[in-house]
Amino acid sequence: MSDSKKKALVAYSSRDPSIATVIMDAVRRANPKSPHVRYEPWQLNDVTGKSLASSILSQIEHSEFVVADITTLNLNVVYEIGFSIGIRKRVFLIRNRTIVGDQAIEKEAGIFDTLGFSAYDSEDSLCDILSGHISSDPITFPIALDRLAPVYVVESSIKDHVATTMISRLKKARYRYRSFNPGEDVRLSALDAIRQVSVSAGILVSLRCEKVNDDQVHNVRALFVAGLAHGMRKPTLILCANDYRAPVDILDDVKQFKYPDDIASHINKFSLEITDHLQSTVSVRIDTGTLLQSLQIGDPTAENEMATLASYYLPLNQYDRAVNGQVNLVVGRKGSGKTALFIQVRDRIREQKRNIVVDLKPEGYQLIKLKEEMLEYLTDGARHHLITAFWEYLLLLEVAYKLLEKDRNTYSHNHDIYDLYLRLNRTYQVEDFSSDGDFSERLLTLSQRISAVYRQKFGAQLGQKLSTKDVSELVYSHDVRELRQQISEYLERKRSVWVLFDNLDKGWTTHGIDVIDAVILRCLIDAGRKLERDMRKQNHQFRCIIFIRNDVYEHLMLNSADFGKEMRSVLDWTDPDLLREMLRRRLLYGRDKIGNDLPFDQLWPAICVSHYQGDETLSYMIDRSLMRPRNLLKIFNHCRGFANNFNRQKIIEDDIEKGMLAYSHDLVIELDRELVDVFPVAQQILYCFIDVPSIMPLIELEQYIEGAGIKKDEVTKVVEFLLYYGIIGLHATDKDYYIYDVNYGIRSTNRVVDQIVCVLFFRDI
């Protein structure tokens, strides 16, 4: 009789023998009790060997479903979980609640708690779980390719030359990509990864040597996504250094590198595979079953929705001011929509062909070497002089690069710019200067060259002063005066130049920003304003707009003498109705994409229960978003993900509860990192609020903070930061007040504190 049963593979790590023993004994006892399924454990999952990997994957393909233990995260098992989902097999996750295992890595990586798992504490409880009914219904996912951005990338939180080269070469292949970026989304949702891989024509991941905890977390994400990709039969490039020992399941699939050119070679071949996949795949309409599963509402990360953002973007007053050239700074909190505004302004200006748009988004660590090997040794005056010259020179080079790139294929047929183009090209292409790669690579090359010249000339002497001649010799490879003059002459044939600069804060270390970071930002602003003035004197329309986090900007610039002179546009949300409209536009866009004609007031009840804990569900989600669009999208996607796991027609109360828990994990990690950026001693401060009363007097709050290791004279500053981030609010007799209720004015909030006897409210999210 047992031979007629369907098989189910049980995957687990043998790293902890006690877990392996419990699983084996539970399987042995469960098999006679299970009428339809026979469990087959893979006892030697960590054993190396080529034939082993193929045998495991073959067993998965012939299994009714897969049971996987995630108590300890073996990378082979992580890959097998992804592979099983990719070939549309149900994966039933289990975890031993009595063993800590890899809970910390699991929590930081995301993935598994967004899939859900069953906990066991003994052989008996696991036997009961396996003996019960386990659904074999797989997770559904889209099948239509995203041809506008066909590549999906899993990025590492550590930005080095490998990460920079990988992204730069992908850009050079002219393929738009979507990515998981730990700087934007601190945890990877399994449902989002499944969707991203399913609509991709190519998946790019890298494996790191696990020198730090971040590497382990990254490898878990990378192996899960690689498993999904292989299961869905997608072209996949897995990069790793030549000294890294890859997990056995992917031993034959990894591409090793020793030098940056090796990465370029692998990505060149990968690009051809993407092209073949796009050409061989018939374009089909998404059909995933339920309305909830079919809806496309864009992505919480604006970089991943560049091709569709214009279809549902909500233009605010800040957008109008930016496109009209009325600001030189756009500041807003993380997740408030700065990058979305960046993209929309850029695309709007580009519509006029005679406009030149220089959009600069460094990928990460390019300025760290310059900072560590040079800037720390300079006097304040020399540092400011050098960095301003550096930024002005770099912006000039990027304007020249964009002019040459834009007219590269047309100048030979245009007598009006022919001679100007050739002259500018000769001036731009000089010895000891590399124009290869994207902006991140050019920024890295320039900063490394300056650092090397400085160290050779001045060594590591502290308090170094620099003359104007020294600065010129360090920074310039070009005749700057000639370059500026030729750009000016060229711009007489153009309409306007717009320099848009984003992502500067992504180059800062995890230890928070310091004085030099403040100088770098201040000098970038000064260099942009100087270029604007110089170009306008020559009757050119020139705009430079820098996008930066509002909290970081105020922290850095508060003591600046001309703090109030900047033309700023503050992108902060205070009206819940605007967030409701933002989500409404996206849902209606998703409705139209699948040919549905339900109006919004009927669409929302069709996909989500109307009320939760007495609140209207959309209002409930908005109230817990900290008034950030990205957070609202994350909440909705988490709730939808749990509903889709069970093929439900709509989001129910249980899905909202689980979705809010997953979102809370994301938010605590994300807010902790934001706080550390501007106040390093506040690291892990949020965890002191575990199990505390939701309402408490100010004095009790200060005691909790002081108990977390914060010095007494810094407690007040920490309270201000918690207020500023919306982590705590003010409990009054009429309502609870948060920072966004007083237009993000920390001083206004402090006045309210004095009036209500200093009682604070900590929102339980």
State pLDDT tens for residues 602-654.
889 999 999 998 889 999 999 889 889 999 999 999 999 888 877 788 999 99
**Cβ–Cβ under 8 Å, residues 155 and 215:** no
Same-domain pairing of 466 and 551: yes
User: Radius of gyration (Cα) for the chain, nearest Å?
Assistant: 28
The side-by-side arrangement of strands in the sheet containing 65-69 is: 37-41, 6-11, 65-69, 90-96, 118-120
Reduced to 3 states, what is the DSSP secondary structure of residue 656?
helix
Question: Given this model, what pLDDT does residue 666 score?
Answer: 86
Same-domain pairing of 395 and 246: no
- What token pair was written down for 551? 């909290």
Cα–Cα distance for residue pair 621/627, rounded to 1 Å: 10
For 595, half-sphere exposure in the C-beta direction (CA atoms, 13 angstrom radius) is 3
602 domain residue, yes or no = no
139 domain residue, yes or no = no
Same-domain pairing of 155 and 126: no
Alpha carbon separation from 534 to 191, 235, 359, 400, 522 (Å, rounded): 51, 49, 20, 16, 18
Whether residue 747 has pLDDT greater than 60: no
598 domain residue, yes or no = no
| Count of domains for the chain | 4
Query: Which one is predicted more confidently, 592 or 315?
Result: 315
Whether residue 432 has pLDDT greater than 70: no
Same-domain pairing of 548 and 687: no
Whether residue 74 has pLDDT greater than 70: yes
Whether residue 500 has pLDDT greater than 70: yes
Domain holding 340, by residue range, is 317-563
Strand partners, 240: 207, 256
699 domain residue, yes or no = yes
Same-domain pairing of 475 and 555: yes
Same-domain pairing of 460 and 355: yes
User: How large is the average pLDDT for residues 571-575?
Assistant: 87
Question: Given this model, what pLDDT does residue 564 score?
Answer: 56
Query: Which one is predicted more confidently, 581 or 671?
Result: 581
Final residue of a structural domain among 563, 579, 600: 563
Whether residue 47 has pLDDT greater than 70: no
Whether residue 444 has pLDDT greater than 50: yes
Same-domain pairing of 185 and 109: no
Same-domain pairing of 175 and 274: yes
Query: Which one is predicted more confidently, 463 or 353?
Result: 353
Same-domain pairing of 112 and 159: no
**Mean per-residue pLDDT of the chain:** 83
Query: Which one is predicted more confidently, 167 or 748?
Result: 167
Question: Given this model, what pLDDT does residue 381 score?
Answer: 81
Strand partners, 321: none
Reduced to 3 states, what is the DSSP secondary structure of residue 540?
coil
Same-domain pairing of 449 and 559: yes
Residue percentage of the chain with pLDDT more than 70 = 88
Whether residue 574 has pLDDT greater than 60: yes
Same-domain pairing of 205 and 98: no
Final residue of a structural domain among 515, 536, 563: 563
Whether residue 108 has pLDDT greater than 90: no
Cα–Cα distance for residue pair 242/353, rounded to 1 Å: 46
- What token pair was written down for 383? 């540092």
Q: Give start and end residues of each alpha helix (H) in 132-282.
A: 161-172, 190-198, 213-231, 260-280
136 domain residue, yes or no = no
Question: Given this model, what pLDDT does residue 237 score?
Answer: 94
215 domain residue, yes or no = yes
Final residue of a structural domain among 537, 563, 589: 563
Cα–Cα distance for residue pair 476/87, rounded to 1 Å: 55
pLDDT class of 761 with cuts at 50, 70, 90: low
611 domain residue, yes or no = no
The model's pLDDT over 222-244, given as tens digits with 9 standing for 90+, comes to 999 999 999 999 999 999 988 88
Question: Given this model, what pLDDT does residue 46 score?
Answer: 43
Whether residue 558 has pLDDT greater than 50: yes
633 domain residue, yes or no = no
User: How large is the average pLDDT for residues 138-143?
Assistant: 76
Residue percentage of the chain with pLDDT more than 90 = 25
The CATH number linked to 233 is: 3.40.50.450
* Secondary structure percentages of the chain, helix, strand, coil, to 5: 55, 15, 35
Query: Which one is predicted more confidently, 341 or 252?
Result: 341
Question: Given this model, what pLDDT does residue 580 score?
Answer: 93
Question: Given this model, what pLDDT does residue 656 score?
Answer: 94
Backbone φ, ψ for residue 312 (5° rounding): -140, 10
Overall pTM > 0.85: no
Question: Given this model, what pLDDT does residue 282 score?
Answer: 63
Whether residue 365 has pLDDT greater than 70: no
Question: Given this model, what pLDDT does residue 435 score?
Answer: 66
Whether residue 512 has pLDDT greater than 70: no
Alpha carbon separation from 59 to 20, 26, 78 (Å, rounded): 19, 20, 16
- What token pair was written down for 162? 């490998």
Same-domain pairing of 406 and 465: yes
Pick the closest to residue 366 from 444, 433, 445 (CA basis). 444
Cα–Cα distance for residue pair 26/24, rounded to 1 Å: 6
